[in-house]
A and B are shown apart, each in its own frame.
Chain A
Amino acid sequence: MAPRSSIAFLLAFAAALCSLQLCEVSDDLVQTQSEPEPFTEPNQVPVDGTLEKPGEVPPIASYSDPIEESHDDKQWQATEEEAIAKPEPDEEIAPLSNFKDDFKEELVIRPLHSGDIYASFQFRTLWDTDFLQGKRVSHYHLFPKSLGQVISKFSVRELHISFTQGYWRTMQWGQPYLPSPPGAELWVWFQDTVTDVDGAWKELTNVLSGIFCASLNFIDSTNTVHPSASFKPLGLGNDTDPRFLRYAMLPREIVCTENLTPWKKLLPCGTKAGLAVLMKSEKLFHSSFHSEAVHIRPVCQDVDCKAPSWELRQTLNVVFDVHTSGQGKKEWSLFKMFSRTLTEACPLASSSKVYVDVTDNPQGELFELLPASPLLSQAVVLGDRRTYSVYDLTNKDTFGSTRSLNLLVRWKADSGEMVRPLLHSERYVAGFGLQTGEIHTLIYNYHPYRAFPVLLLETVPWYLRLYIHTLTVTSKGKENKPSYIHYQPSKDRLRPHLLEMMVQLPPNSVTEVTVQFERALLKWTEYTPDPNHGFYVGSSVISALVPSMVAMDTNNSQEQPLFSSFFPCKEESSFFVRIYTEPLLVNLPTPDFSMPYNVICLTCTVVAVGYGSFYNLLTRTFQVEEPSPGLAKRLANVIRRWRGVPAL
């Protein structure tokens, strides 16, 4: 009973502390903080000296993997940070000095060319502490305790989890800010001190399953892989040994409100204040695409990078359909999208902003944005220079006289043709019948003159037996030899196929990767309850450094000074993109599990018995056999043979 009571005491203490020091915060915050924690035993996993050498900057090109992933990371971070670290008058101070943490929230709204609206929420909690320093971290402030405990207990270095309902339509919507595959995706980097990675992974998935109310407990060895190159750590740390990486995807996971609620509870303000008030489930799920994610990683505290700090980034991406809910009128407002308006920033947030992408609408000819914002900011996002109208919620003037911000977008003209994304992919199963098939993955490079390499990762369940000798990669009608192939064959009922390869995409081309497979016959208990629905094969993942649009722009020299534009700027020349193909639904040979099935089995048995007798009759000749001699006689015969005397 002792540890329990001590925890209760601690909890009470923390709650008291919070309420004492943040008296203006509403009660729900206290509730969030004092939520019953999932672990009843105190975490005891000792972590000894795991921290990266503080002097070391995130590693750059120190390892020799094929795509120079480290470079990607840097790019990825760079663009991310550019997207986030807008020029902003940041006069807000962190609420507490002894808790060195910081919370920022942000909503990006992007009117898409298809007429749909893309809303992306980003919440970032940054905490200058170290979960892995040996001493237990028991006082939590903005950082959710449930996740903090998970990190320290399982020695997690990085954790990325996403729940997505729907498929991101790259050709209509462009690239998302944070890509995610349909269903659930989880990838975790463990500290290199973890000895039993598989055990930790199994336990971690079960814990996360409880935290997010998802079926992550269905992650087992048959759908877990450790990719060698596709998933590199995004945060601090230079260890890229794939033994400490676990990656799993559940393409069948249905995402709904029960996953959203625990996700919302991780926010410091819950849904009571700030941007999160917009998160009404019935609206968020009345959309074309819904994706929520949690990313945890260690980042540098400051420029010197002497100590790590932990970043928790929660993102929510939604695409609203103008057709189905607009009743034909092309007009959008926060209220229409979320049935709420914004009235205040989260009091705990150091920054709270709404961005509206107005790049395609410099003179307001495409749509009208109300209320207009005086603040504009520019950023290079995904290789494209974008302009945003910025609404700072910490500023009282933003809300105007009505004391609420209801952004309104009124379309004036039909949106024009959108720029095709440079990288696009498609995947399908070819062939018919239930014996064999062929998986086709098409990767489109729409860049007019530049070739670039992509890393393709395919994870195929064991019950599709890949014929790896039939693997072909063709571009423009010619064979395209991958420069790097990593293939791990499956083991029946134990692990899936893992196929990773790096392919150079010629400019303006379609690259087709095909591999044939055979459909295995499952044991009859291995079928799902709905075997005729089919079996899912998770999305393949394509990671690439895509040449940026900005670098592609040939007439950008007119605005900029001439001296700046001769050599393409390194930072902007390419950007990291990860895209996911659609999952596949494959039918396996299935018995019909019904009465006729039993009848067939029975009939076959009868026929087999009947056939056996008939076969005997037709092929054998019957004759009377002499009874075999007794033991004594046989013995006597042996002896007689010995003596050379004829047998009896």
Chain B
Amino acid sequence: MGLLSDPNRRRALTNLLTRLNTPICLVCYVAGLAWFMGLAFEPFTLRTYMSENAMGSTMVEERFPAGERALATGREFAAHKRKAGGMPVDWLVKTMQARGLEVYTQQFSRTLPFPDENKERYMVKGTNVYGILRAPRASRTEALVLTASCSEGSGNHQAVGLLLGLAQYFRNQVYWAKDIIFLVNEYDLIGMQAWLEGYHHTNITGMDYTPLQGRGGSIQAALSLELNSDVITSLDLVLEGLNGQLPNLDLANLFYAFCQKIDILCTIQGKLQRSDWDTPSGYTHAAQTMMLMVMKQASGRSWGDHGLFLRYHIEAATIKGINSFRQYKTDATTIGRLLEGMFRKLNNLLERLHQSYFFYLMPSLHHFVSIGYYMPAFGLLAVILLLKALDLWVQLGTPPPGTEDGVAGVEPASSPSVLSILTPLVISHMTGAALYTLPIRSQEMAVEHFPVSETEAVVLTAIAIYTAGLALPHNTHKFLVGEGTDKGWKVLKLVALLYLAVLLGCTALINFSLGFILAVTLVPIAAFVTPHRPKVISTTIMVLLSPGFTLLYCVFIYQELQESPVSLGEGWMLYLSVISQGILDHSLYGSLVYPLLALFVYPCWLLFWNILFWK
């Protein structure tokens, strides 16, 4: 720090930074992107390994024999479900009781803020059924959870059948040290949310539910099972949970280890792991897998029923059966054995899973990028904001060379009034607040006056407010009295730069993917916007790099990565549904992406928009 205390050296350093500011920023930006893309290159990443001692060294045997019977139970369940026209509660209760479980039910109801058109839900009323297998000689302090959802349309019958089969098999084993809860939840995530809130006696989303009667202590880990097709060729592991939270990496390791042991094809993001990392196609494959993970994580939604467990510090993952039309088929017995093995190892846990990483990206199921490796990519982008801020700070500190000898007007012009900075800040945040609150509140009005459905009304209102926000510079100017100075926009930009840096930094700490995607698009405009650029081009660039458009690109890129590209029209419809899902996720499960974008990121972008139109 002596370097900075010495005035001469300090001056030399700042001179260097201000003189070479733009090239350094460019280099940083390119380096950040390159670093990020390099993460998918296998030699740069680590192989996964089991950190948890209790799960690594202890060998367990898998002997689950009754896959066929489980499938039969699944068919029976499907028949009863058809007959009951929903969740066959009585049948489930009876079946679980016959298997020697303590069975309880929970009713819940929830009215969505506006109809969910993807899943055709509005007023949801359902029942969760769960049975607790009490471990012998255990004192109800720890539990494991296995869930399978039962929604009206999708056929998760096999999963329910397998769950019941496993319950029966587990009941006859003597080695359990933790209670095991078998949960069949209706309306997938909504039921799950109700059950978890009931279990932990919280209410964060305004759900109506009946209190739970039976509990098993603190839940250590949970697995959620989704087997939607009759033929299963591979199993996919879904990790991304609410707000981009991930379970401990050891859970993924456990799954991978057992897939290897039992010889099941396993995938992550629906992609197999390849060994040809040194070929371009091998690298592209890994990069695609990683990008998919980044996209999913950035969305902040729960990509399986497991996602809601993570808030309660319960490690959870979803195992999804996939039919990819391969020769190789996996039967129910094998999946049952996989689950048995995983549960036995989880049962051996002495502590909660904590040894391995909580922050990671996976370019394939057997390689991972830890937080130490991916954070520099973000850091390189974030440092641009700081460099620019430093540059501005230095510029504001040294008097402009033209007026150095002229005495008049240096001091009064140099300090722009607080008002001129505060006004754009307040106005853009009010726009953000409007974007956050109005779409849901004004849906009835919109439906009355326009020929749209409620969902469309909400989404279109949001887009309308977003667009209306762009007209703001003309309005803010009316409030400003002594605006127009060069220093005015510089101070505003300095504030905006620091604001954005803090915002992105915090976001990246919690949800790296979201922070990184926002940084990639917002940092260039934040760095280079000034009132003196050519208006038409810079306006176009600003709009194209705004958060709304970022979301649109993400939709297209995601579809591209999923290898199901969409046309522009379809993409647009998808875009609308993604917005509505984001708003729904926020009000149903407490996802934070929508409020973050509406209340902070969008206003921040508006500040830069203001600077562009500074007169």
Contact = CB atoms under 8 A, between A and B. Distances in A.
Interface of A: 165-167, 169, 171-172, 182-183, 251, 285-290, 321, 323-325, 426, 428-434, 438, 440, 530-534, 536, 582-587, 592, 609-610, 613-614, 616-617
Contact of A166 (B138, B174, B202): B138
B94 interface: no
Contact of A617 (B5, B200, B215, B311): B5
B391 to A, nearest CB: 16
Contacts of A587: 218, 313, 352
Given A431-B200, A533-B350, A609 B137 contact: no
A582 B139 contact: yes
Contact of A167 (B139, B173, B311, B350): B139
A532 to B, nearest CB: 4
B415 interface: no
A430 B141 contact: no
Max chain B Cβ within 10 angstroms of own Cβ: one of A324, A434, A438, A617: A324
B200 to A, nearest CB: 6
A324 B138 contact: no
Given A166-B137, A183-B139, A583-B139, A440 B201 contact: yes
A167 B138 contact: yes
B120 interface: no
A624 to B, nearest CB: 12
Contact of B202 (A172, A286, A431): A431
25 contacts: A166-B136, A166-B137, A172-B102, A287-B136, A287-B137, A288-B134, A288-B136, A323-B171, A323-B172, A324-B173, A324-B174, A325-B174, A428-B215, A430-B200, A431-B202, A432-B200, A432-B311, A438-B201, A440-B201, A534-B141, A582-B141, A582-B217, A586-B218, A587-B313, A609-B1
B354 A323 contact: no
Interface string B112-152: 00000000000000000000001011111110000000000
A321 B135 CA distance: 11
Nearest to B393: A618
Nearest to B352: A532
A536 B354 CA distance: 19
Contacts of B4: 613-614, 617
B278 interface: no
Given A532-B352, A585-B141, 12 more contacts: A171-B102, A172-B102, A287-B136, A290-B137, A324-B172, A431-B200, A534-B352, A582-B139, A587-B313, A613-B1, A614-B4, A616-B5
B312 interface: yes
B209 to A, nearest CB: 14
A519 B215 CA distance: 22
A487 to B, nearest CB: 23
A324 B351 CA distance: 26
B201 A431 contact: yes
Contacts of A536: 141
A585 B213 CA distance: 18
A585 B142 contact: yes
Given A169-B134, A432-B311, A533 B352 contact: yes
B100 interface: yes
A532 B141 contact: no
Given A582-B141, A585-B141, A321 B136 contact: yes
Contact of A432 (B136, B171, B215, B312): B312
A93 to B, nearest CB: 41
**Which one of A287, A428, A610 has the highest number of Cβ atoms from chain B below 10 Å of its Cβ?**
A428
B612 to A, nearest CB: 29
Contact of B100 (A171, A290, A323): A323
Contacts of A182: 139
B102 A585 contact: no
Nearest to A324: B174
Given A166-B137, A582-B141, A583-B141, A432 B202 contact: yes
Contacts of A324: 136, 171-174
Nearest to B355: A594
A288 B174 CA distance: 9
Contacts of A432: 200, 202, 311-313
B205 to A, nearest CB: 13
Contacts of A171: 102
B355 to A, nearest CB: 8
A324 B201 CA distance: 33
Interface in B170-217: 171-174, 200-202, 213, 215, 217
Chain B interface main SS type: loop
Contacts of A251: 139
A209 B303 CA distance: 52
Contacts of B140: 167, 582-583
A452 B5 CA distance: 77
Contacts of B215: 426, 428
A290 B5 CA distance: 72
A429 B218 contact: yes
A253 to B, nearest CB: 10
Contacts of A617: 4-5
A592 B357 CA distance: 11
A58 B100 CA distance: 46
Contact of B141 (A433, A434, A584): A584
A583 B140 CA distance: 7
Contacts of A531: 351
Interface in B278-313: 311-313
Nearest first, the 9 A-B pairs at minimum CB distance are A182-B139, A430-B201, A613-B1, A532-B351, A166-B137, A585-B141, A582-B140, A533-B351, A167-B139
Contacts of A533: 350-352
A531 B351 CA distance: 8
Contacts of B172: 323-324
Nearest to B357: A596
Contacts of B174: 286, 324-325
A225 to B, nearest CB: 20
A397 B171 CA distance: 41
Nearest to A256: B137
Contacts of B200: 430-432
A532 B250 CA distance: 15
Q: Among B173, B201, B202, B313, find the residue whose CB has the most chain A CB atoms closer than 10 A.
A: B201
B100 A430 contact: no
Contacts of A434: 313
A592 B354 contact: yes
B291 to A, nearest CB: 26
A237 to B, nearest CB: 33
A440 B212 CA distance: 12
Nearest to B10: A617
Best-buried of A183, A289, A614 by chain B (most CB within 10 Å)? A289
A289 B137 contact: yes
A438 B139 CA distance: 20
Contacts of B352: 532-534, 587
A288 to B, nearest CB: 5
A318 to B, nearest CB: 10
Contacts of A287: 136-137
Nearest to B139: A182
Contacts of B351: 530-533
Contacts of B1: 609-610, 613
A47 to B, nearest CB: 39
A428 B141 contact: no
Nearest to A599: B372
A290 B201 CA distance: 31
A531 B312 CA distance: 18
Contacts of B201: 428, 430-431, 438, 440
B311 A585 contact: no
Contacts of A428: 201, 215, 217
Given A530-B350, A609-B1, A165 B137 contact: yes
Contacts of B136: 166, 287-289, 321, 324
Interface string B332-367: 000000000000000000111010000000000000
A631 B202 CA distance: 70
A587 B350 CA distance: 13
